[in-house]
Structure 1
């Protein structure tokens, strides 16, 4: 499978079956995140792995968009370890963690798993429930598991995505 085939195959999964994600697959997903590029290679990501039914139930409690999955990765950034842009001080943490999460999401797809990138959650509930230190910014949650049912067709991009001419500008605006 080419990279473009993999990217088109990936889709948001909201219904997972009950099978646990095998340890080898989890480690492959985490390794994909580990090797993801970050600004100046500072690697500010911290990833909390939730696999037990108790932890996953606690995560779903009070968080509307956390669907039932056998695995959740809470992806955080250590803001004291992220690169700051020297022109305007802009922090690279969210971009870095976005790249890390994308690598893990695509690795999950490559392994036959489904995933859902969740940004709609109550960060203070998550922080409290999992003892996440104050110096870590909770950026997103990645739900992972085997899809329960068919996933979206890779061909959907032909009709759901804007054509390149609408998003790409050559040389100057």
Structure 2
């Protein structure tokens, strides 16, 4: 799947590879992690076992892509983004891009936010706190999203483009339980 953004006259095409969350997908994940500009580790906000599995997926992705080597102690769907660019950018950004993708930008994404808000408030608090702790351990930005309601979907892609190309873009942190979390 592809997603295209236009930033300052540059066409940025995201080529998205879904690594899946099952054991059969493990054989393909090293291939798609290699050279990826960003790695999205996704979990279902309504199923805590998928959140529990994000640490293992992150550790695998870190090994395959040289994501920041951070000590963490602790099988959701792993979405890998390999970034391709039609270079309408200055040469300096091209060079920066080539340097940056040596280490992928890690992003932890909680999906099904529209269903998550129906959970009891105590369960929401527990999931928010656990997801924030995991994101800190991964040195990842955390987004809660909903594809069905287009909540934070575009923000995730804009955030990644801004990080990869060192573009100014202000992202507002939101830590209010019951609202789509954005934490960095």
> What is the TM-score normalised by the length of structure 2?
0.27
When Rg is computed on C-alpha atoms for both structures, the one with the higher figure is 1
> What is the TM-score normalised by the length of structure 1?
0.28
Greater strand share, structure number: 2
